[in-house]
Amino acid sequence: MCLDSPCLATPKDISKLITAGYGNRLMIGFITPINHEGVESITPARKGWGGTESGAYYYGETSCTFLDRNGLCELHDLGLKPLGGKIANHERTPSDAYILILEKWNSKRGHRIKKKWKERFVKRGLVLKFL
């Protein structure tokens, strides 16, 4: 999972990562479970894409920014691993979790966290538009 896409995170997970000083290693992602409308979220970034609102998340250029050279998650021992990473089976996150996390991002708290993160961390000029 970490090689293909960063794990899904709840707003609470992201708040903890920002507080711990990792806000610059996050990026905008989209949660789109089957039969549900997609919701913008914040996730751990792909390496080199921290602070972006980029479509790079979908293109598989690089692994998660928190995956170390030994293939281990830097956040695991810190108690900061996002929910998606905690419950994933290293191939995918269970579909029920997508819906739970989607609902949390589609809340007032989720929208507030996204807004504050974008104001503080998004690198202007790196925002890519989908064609």
Query: What is the tens place of the pLDDT at every residue in 102-127?
Result: 889 999 999 999 999 998 988 755 44
| 131 found inside a domain | no
Q: Report the 3 state secondary structure along the chain.
A: CCCCCCCCCCHHHHHHHHHCCCHHHEEEEEECCCCCCCEEEEEECECCCCCECCHHHHCCCCCECCECCCCCECCCCCCCCCHHHHHCCCCCCCHHHHHHHHHHHCCHHHHHHHHHHHHHHCCCCCCCCCC
Cut 0.85: pTM above it: no
| 87 found inside a domain | yes
Expressed as residue numbers, the domain containing 31 is: 11-121
pLDDT tens, position by position, 43-91: 998 887 788 776 544 555 578 889 888 988 899 899 999 988 888 765 5
Q: Is the pLDDT of residue 131 over 70?
A: no
| 75 found inside a domain | yes
Q: What is the number of structural domains in the chain?
A: 1
